[in-house]
Amino acid sequence: MSASQVARFDKLKKLLSNDQTFADGFVAMGDFLALRGELNLAFLCLTRALELGHANDSEIRRRRRAILEEWENASDKRIRSRKSFWRTKIAKSEKVLKLARPWLGRFQAAEATLVKKGQFPSSAETLAEMASKKGSGKYRP
pLDDT digits (tens, 9 = 90+) for 35-65: 888 888 999 999 999 888 888 888 998 999 8
DSSP-derived secondary structure for 2-26: -HHHHHHHHHHHHHHHH-TT-HHHH
CATH 1.25.40.10 applies to domain 1-74? yes
Confidence of residue 92 (pLDDT cuts 50, 70, 90): confident
C-alpha count within 13 angstroms, C-beta hemisphere, residue 58: 0
Is the distance from CB of 132 to CB of 110 less than 8 angstroms? no
Say how far apart CA 24 and CA 34 lie, in whole Å.
Answer: 15
Three-class secondary structure of residue 120 per DSSP:
coil
Distance from C-alpha of 93 to C-alpha of 46, rounded to nearest angstrom? 13
Q: What is the pLDDT of residue 70?
A: 81
Instruction: Count Cβ atoms below 10 Å from residue 55 Cβ, excluding itself.
Output: 9
CB 31 within 8 A of CB 12: no
17-21, 26-30, 61-65: least confidently modelled range: 17-21
Average pLDDT of span 5-21: 86
* C-alpha torsion 100→103→108→112, nearest 10: 180
Number of H helices, E strands in the chain: 6, 0
The domain locations on the chain are: 1-74, 82-141
pLDDT band at 27 (very low <50, low <70, confident <90, very high): very high
